[in-house]
Amino acid sequence: MSDFGDIWVYLSSSPLLHLTLTLMAYLIGARLYRRFNLHPLLNPVLIAVLILVAVLILTGTDYATYFEGAQFVHFLLGPATVALAIPLYNQIERVRRSALSLLSALVLGSLAAAASAAGIAWALGAGPEVIASIAPKSVTTPIAMGISEKLGGLPSLTAVLVILTGVLGATLGPMLLNLLRIKDWRARGLAIGVAGHGIGTARAIQVNEVAGAFSGLAMGLNALATAILLPLLWAWVF
């Protein structure tokens, strides 16, 4: 107990505390996820987010202080994204055979994701700033924030919406695909990648290698398509 107390004193005065809390929260989420046979509603990212939000609220810690210690995890997002090329390379022949249908579905999916989000926000009376913040919500966070800023949105709001979209895509996406009886792993991966970006792709990789490869490809190409098409559509509509 004395050793633990010494460690806690050190951690509490160091940014390392929040990195440790982040890793512990995710490990708790992952353990629950495995304990209940990979139930989609117990997505480890969702559990970790809920735990961390509760801790930050109870301790009165602001996000800037938390991020000072947890930014190393943020840094690892880059290498993790690049590593998605490995399962894609393993499935490159399947990707080539499905190239035309893949690109068609990708463009339609990108447009549908942005248009549906913007349309719902507009129907509920949101202003241009909020609409611009929510439109790129299906794109991975750094690119979505850049698109949002270019359109006049709020990048911080976009970041929150992107995370929520990813968690919902990873949690409810497989259930919806099962309900629709979509069994082709290529189609399942593509849908999850377009709708749920990195968080959804992580879930797809856990389930099936083919789905993970197509999800990673969809995530990257969706970001590219949205970055090109959304500003053009925005200038045309507004």
Handedness of CA 36, 41, 44, 49 (dihedral sign): negative
**Same domain for 203 and 224:** yes
Domain boundary among 75, 102, 132: 75
- Letter for the amino acid at 236? W
- Confidence (pLDDT) at 15: 66
The H-assigned helical ranges of 36-154 are 44-59, 63-75, 77-83, 85-90, 92-97, 99-123, 128-134, 141-151
The residue from 16, 48, 75 where one domain ends is 75
| CB-CB contact of 216 with 193 (8 Å) | yes
DSSP state of 127: -
Yes or no: say if 166 and 197 are a contact pair by the CB < 8 Å rule.
yes
Same domain, 87 and 112: yes
Tell me: do 30 and 114 sit in the same domain: no
The residue out of 15, 50, 75 marking a domain boundary is 75
Are both 153 and 194 inside the same structural domain? yes
Which residues touch 228 (CB under 8 Å, ≥6 apart)? Answer: none
Q: pLDDT by residue (tens digit) across 208-235?
A: 888 888 888 888 888 888 888 888 888 8
Q: Which residue has the tokens 């495995």?
A: 34
Same domain, 53 and 153: no
Domains contained in the chain, number: 2
Contact 194, 103 (CB under 8 A): no
Q: Are residues 121 and 152 in the same domain?
A: yes
Considering the domain architecture, whether residues 134 and 233 belong to the same structural domain is answered as yes
- Give the structural domain span for 196: 80-238
Per-residue confidence in pLDDT tens, the chain, 238 aa: 455 556 555 655 566 788 888 889 999 988 998 888 877 778 888 888 899 989 888 877 787 778 777 778 777 777 777 777 777 777 788 878 888 888 888 888 888 888 888 889 899 988 889 999 999 988 888 788 888 888 888 888 888 888 888 888 888 888 888 899 988 898 898 889 888 888 888 888 878 888 888 888 888 888 888 888 888 888 887 6
Residues 220, 170 share a domain: yes
CB atoms closer than 10 angstroms to residue 179: 9
**What is the predicted pLDDT for the residue at 11?**
58
Same domain, 39 and 123: no
Q: What is the pLDDT of residue 5?
A: 52
Residues 220 and 109 in one domain: yes
Query: Do 174 and 208 touch, CB atoms closer than 8 A?
Result: no
Judgement on whether residues 129 and 194 belong to the same structural domain of the protein: yes
Per 3-state DSSP, the chain is made up of helix, strand and coil in percentages (nearest 5) of 85, 0, 15
Residue 8 is predicted with a pLDDT of 52
Question: 54 and 87 in one domain?
Answer: no
* The pLDDT value given to residue 166: 86
pLDDT value of residue 27: 92
